[in-house]
Structure 1
Amino acid sequence: MKKCLLSIDWDYFIYTQKNNWGLYSENKRSLIDLWYKRYIQAKAHGEDIQNEFNVSSELDIFWNKIKRYFKFEKNMKVYVSDSHALSYIIAKENDCQIVYLFDSHSDLGYGGLASLNYEVNCSNWLGKLLKDKYIKEAYIFYSPHTAEKPEYFKHINRIYNVKYCDFSDLSNLDALIIVSAVHICRSGAWTPPWLDDKFIQFINALGFPYKMVDCPERKWDIVHISLADQINYLTS
């Protein structure tokens, strides 16, 4: 039986009118400082950035839907991190040959096949798993709010076994999908810190013990931002 990794990005549930915030390195600046900068800049224009981000109603029913089609092994390992790049290590170390990904992004690599020659990062980990032959199949379930399209990755799609699916496709399965490991990532450069409480609630709703890996707490306090703090955020 092939081992399966179920990998879920928190941004699958987050949507905003500003569909593309761009590409960022995953560091303290992008995880928290940049969010304060965005907040301050928006406030200067009379806007509250906190009102621009919403959580999908699917959040409350997601795990129930998952359990209709996926069966969790008794000793299944669950990991929580900020970066989705950890899925590369999880799949490799747990000998997973299949990945089911729920995400707003494919993480196959951006920039064609050449992007798979770079070191593993949050934007190419799935493509690297395929290229390095650690997995044989990848099933991508895009968020309903994604701005991506499968044809953006046509060169990778031609070479590797990548399928783009939705929940309705799972109804045709003859048996439940056995899951050996689950990874839930926050992708803090793209998901706002004021929703982190909901992120933790989502993790706990799975009902399994989990290992937290490099997912620092983000304190969001817009009431006590000093002038010096504002200057630092704006110039960072």
Structure 2
Amino acid sequence: MPMNLLVVDWDFFFPTPMAGGPPVEHSDLYAWPVADDAVHVELIWLRRVRKFQAVGMPLPRCTGYEGFWDRFRISPRAKVYYADSNAWAGHLFPSNLGGEGPWNYVHLYDAHHDCGYRNNHKSFDQWKAAGRIGAENWMLAHYWNGSKLAVHFPPWRESMERPAESPLIPVGMTIDDGSAPEIVFDAVYLCRSGAWVPSWCDDQFSDFLEACPAQPVQIPQNRWNHPRPDVVRMAELGRSLGPRRGFVQTDT
């Protein structure tokens, strides 16, 4: 029987002007570099929280995730695999569940399409020659294996023109309208997306994972620290202590 994979990136619920969300005051605070390493996702938020606090801007939170799972038909035998990076979704195949062949469909709900970006590779063939699966191109592995792909951008994205998308492969891309594919999903993959979603939203992620009607399974190869360090408390402590003689306060 054909099997289907549902992939959800947590940044789907974190409105970001730089990913096509509506502009906000101090939109420049969201101009974050792409990074996927453990040090980045755990420590860089201290620098970022200080910048929000410096301009007196309330810390943004995730929105719209309540009831998200209710629209989907998820097999009662399904597992929800979770990790920090979406790269691990490129290593998940029906064979992990005792099946064979490609997924029939891979549906991705994400603020980014993860189908390869031309600042990294000029073509799908160039990516194949390199052979590296990362958070920015893992969908290519499923395309190569023969799966049909669909990308759903978050409803807070204002249009498909900003930013303009240019994936390395042909793939259907739409802005989510609240409907759901008329298929049953045999597995779910949930990415915390720690480089894009603040650590002060980790409590919301816990609620979202717990609400998924599938058995949670942590990707064993993934380095997982959850919740991450409380950078809000760390920033407040740093302000209360202030600069001290012989002590250099850094941004990280």
Q: TM-score band, normalised by the shorter chain?
A: 0.7 to 0.9
State the percentage of identical aligned residues: 22
Quick one: which of 183, 193, 196 aligns to 2:189?
Answer: 183
Q: Which has the higher helix share?
A: 1
Aligned length: 217
Distance 1:128 1:233, change over 3 A: farther
Quick one: which of 74, 80, 83 aligns to 1:81?
Answer: 83
Quick one: which of 153, 177, 184 aligns to 2:166?
Answer: 153
Q: Give the structure-1-normalised TM-score.
A: 0.78
Quick one: which of 218, 221, 224 aligns to 2:237?
Answer: 224
The answer to whether the Cα contact below 8 Å between 1:79 and 1:211 also exists between their aligned partners in 2 is yes
| Alignment match, 2:37 | 27
| Alignment match, 2:123 | 113
Which runs of 4 or more aligned residues in structure 1 lie more than 6 Å from their structure 2 counterparts after TM superposition? none
Whether 1:164 and 2:173 are equivalent positions in the alignment is yes
| Alignment match, 2:23 | none
Unmatched runs of 5 consecutive residues or more in structure 1: none
Q: Which has the higher strand share?
A: 1
| Alignment match, 1:46 | 55
Distance 1:149 1:18, change over 3 A: closer
Distance 1:82 1:155, change over 3 A: closer
Whether 1:141 and 2:152 are equivalent positions in the alignment is yes
**What do you get for the CA RMSD once the two structures are aligned?**
2.9
CA deviations 1:90-137 (Å, max 9, x no partner) are: 13644423200000000001114257344110001012321xx22321
CA deviations 1:141-181 (Å, max 9, x no partner) are: 11123488485226522xxxx2124555957x7xx412111
- Secondary structure (helix, strand or coil) at the match of 1:6 reads strand
The answer to whether the Cα contact below 8 Å between 2:84 and 2:192 also exists between their aligned partners in 1 is yes
